[in-house]
Each structure stands twice: as structure tokens, then as C-alpha cells.
Structure 1
């Protein structure tokens, strides 16, 4: 249920009037963090994706649950063939979390097994200034 809430929140964020595009200089660190995290997922290192995720994700999803979700939903897609950045949206508010800096980045990806997918990576900028993943969604394009 918590996963569904996270996914629903991410979809609402794209439609929210509070969501706003940031300039490329602000977007670059979030995009780099998302790509680094996605590389761990692509390598099948799902434990590291949880360990490097935001505390908000870790507190909602125990590591064992996260690993099970990734094995069920990401692993069957197979090896990454291509990934292209699609769009980014940023906001200062996120339902259920304190005000801060949040981003939702979308990528179009092709994996070893069809269909082509849209990947959505939700991030938050922590107090140390580092962007960390607080949600991940994959669905057919």
C-alpha cells in the first residue's frame, strides 16, 4: 500500500501546479544522482539501490520488501539496451514529507525484454545537499 501511495504521489506531482521546471544547472545534479542510482539497478545491485536511497524510502519500505519488489518488477526486464532522458519536474512540497526540494525525472528505456518502458525516478535533496532517490516506477510506454 505504501508503494502505491508513493506511485500515486509521483503521478500527482506531474499534474500539480506546484511542480515547476528548473534551469539546466539545477537539474544536472538530480539527473546525475538518478543515473548513478539507475546504474546500480541495471547491474542488479538492488541492495545498493536501497542503501543509497533517501531515508524516507528506507523508513517506508524495509530492505527485504524493496529487494522483493525490485526482483519482481525490475529484474524480469533484463539488461538495459538504451535509456534516454525525457523530462524533469521539481517542487518544494511532497505529500507526507516536510517541505524541501523534490524532483521527478522520467526516462524512456529499452530493456532486453519488451515492452519499452518509462522509468520515473523520484528524488529528494537531503540536508547535506545530496539528491537521493525516494521512489522508482517502471511502466510500459
Structure 2
């Protein structure tokens, strides 16, 4: 199956000062929580809501109608989620073709009902309100 490319970028402090590594770990955890929440919407076929919960960069890259149509077709082909495992996570202040900001690129190794091994790449970014939101998603 060809890689399904969907919606690229066209998207705690806890009261004490944390070291740089601890701050990055906190950011990575916040990004991963945002990813898992968003992916849960996709997994439960709440495609319209996943588009609404994505960042503005995602929304400007693909219309809600096109997103829903495309992800539904791809996920129908792959079948239901069996298991998703974190493969890698990397934090960056810049990505090619995107404005500088705070990004987390997370890759999951994912098994589906009809595709034993797949890879999902989820790109999240800190938004103006401080929340991490999905700004890119690829599945292959």
C-alpha cells in the first residue's frame, strides 16, 4: 500500500524551575498526551472532531471534508487498531518548510487489523494558547 500522506504542516511548568532536560521531557510528555488524545479520536472514527482539535496549520492544509474522506478511506483499508507502540520522539524548534516554534515529531509502530506493521508520524506544535496540537499526520 502506498504511503497515505495526510495533512502536513502546510500545527507545565510545575511551580518549580526545571532543568533544560527536564523541561524537554515535560514538553515531550505533553506532546505525547496530545497525540494520544488526538489519535483516540481517529481510532474511534471521530474524524470531524479530530480535524477540529488539530492546529490551524493542519486545518489550513486540508479541509475538514477532505480530511474526513481521506482518513476514513485509509483507516477502512487498514482496519481497526490492534496495537500502537512509541518508536521515537524528537523535539525541535524548527522543521523544514515550517515557521520556527516548538515541535515534537513522534513516530509510532502500529498494527492494524489488515496491516500488520504500519508507521504513524504525528507532528505536534505548541499553539498560541500554550496547548500542543497536531499539525501533521502521516501513515504508511
Q: How many residues align?
A: 124
- The answer as to whether partners of 1:107 and 1:120 remain within 8 angstroms in 2 is yes
Question: Any residues of structure 2 matched to 1:17-32 within 5 Å, and which?
Answer: 23-32=24-33
TM-score (norm 1): 0.79
Q: Which runs of 4+ in 1 moved over 3 A?
A: none
Alpha-carbon RMSD across the aligned residues, in angstroms, is 2.1
Contact 1:57 1:134 in 2 (8 A): yes
Equivalent residue, structure 1, for 2:120: 119
Report the Cα distance in structure 2 between the residues aligned to 1:30 and 1:131, rounded to whole angstroms: 6
- Which has the larger share of helix? 1
Greater Cα radius of gyration, structure 1 or 2 = 2
Q: What are the equivalent positions in structure 2 for 1:31-70 lying under 5 Å apart? A: 31-70=32-71
Structure 2-normalised TM-score?
0.80
1:107 lines up with 2:104 in the alignment: no
Tell me the secondary structure at the aligned position of residue 74 of structure 1: helix
Q: Is the 8 A contact 1:44 1:75 kept in 2?
A: no
